[in-house]
Amino acid sequence: MTAPVGGNGSGERVFIRLGPPPEEPNQFVVEGAPQSYSPEVRARLEVDAKEIISRYPDKRSALLPLLHLVQAEDSYLTPAGLEFCGEQIGLTGAEVSAVGSFYTMYRRGPTGDYLVGVCTNTLCAVMGGDAVFGSLKEHLGIGNDETTADGSVTLQHIECNAACDFAPVVMVNWEFYDNQTPESARELVDSLRDGKPKAPTRGAPLCKFRETSRILAGLPDERPDEGQGGAGAATLAGLQVAKEKGMEPPPAPGGKS
């Protein structure tokens, strides 16, 4: 679908495209997707859903973590998962689908054990992100949003992940791998496929996509926390220079600091 946005000065009308990018599937229903859960699966999920919903004063507010919960079950949003979420919090299928289709962290097709996202936004692209993505496509023999035949890796180009000072950045199941090159990225995906994942540059040890989805749903994260997260040296470089030069922020309006 396109929509006119005005003239270009030469009397011609200019059109912009509306709707999802053409490379992304715009339907949740894919062939073979579960349409409903068995009583056993439903009973298990209801225990987790109850805990998640109890954290919110209004149960509708639990929709985002519930979507991660069903994504942990299926590796993507399925009709069964969408229906389950709606039933738990009293939303219609249309309301659940509208939210689920808005956020790119919710997947619309089966996802491998490791979702490898290569940032190809402006800064990462000029620092080599496009070359990294091209190299991985060739190395894995798959295109954007496709999964290797062994089900281990789904490749995806992603937008800025707010780690531009470590460009080009690759994320695996939303953990950072900074300052990548085509060579290091190929070694990274090889380690995933060999079952010996390289450790992220920052953040907690890597886990598989479905486990990551459960953590994002707010369920317990058993990974060791040794303070791996937080800002890295590149992020803090400006602050360091400011300290060395004795720079102070200007006083806040009204004299408050």
As annotated, the binding site includes 119, 124, 160, 164
Candidates 124, 172, 207, 217: give the one binding ligand FES (CB under 6 A).
124
At residue 233, what is the residue type? Answer: A
144 with 21: CB under 8 angstroms? no
Question: Which CA distances in Å does 175 have to 58, 82, 121, 199?
Answer: 31, 26, 17, 9
Q: Smallest distance, Å, CB 161 to ligand FES?
A: 4
Candidates 63, 116, 118, 163: give the one binding ligand FES (CB under 6 A).
163
Residue range at the interface with ligand FES (CB under 6 A); choices 24-32, 90-98, 102-110, 116-124? 116-124
Q: Would the CA dihedral through 7, 9, 12, 14 be positive or negative?
A: negative
169 contributes a contact to ligand FES by CB under 6 A = yes
Residue range at the interface with ligand FES (CB under 6 A); choices 25-33, 85-93, 120-128, 185-193? 120-128
- Closer to ligand FES at the Cβ: 76 or 133? 133
Tokens at 185, concatenated = 């990225």
53 contributes a contact to ligand FES by CB under 6 A = no
- C-alpha 140/C-alpha 187 separation (Å) is 11
Q: Smallest distance, Å, CB 187 to ligand FES?
A: 20
- C-alpha 120/C-alpha 160 separation (Å) is 7
131 contributes a contact to ligand FES by CB under 6 A = no
235 contributes a contact to ligand FES by CB under 6 A = no
171 contributes a contact to ligand FES by CB under 6 A = no
From the number of C-beta atoms within 10 Å of its C-beta (0-12, 13-18, 19+), residue 77 rates as buried
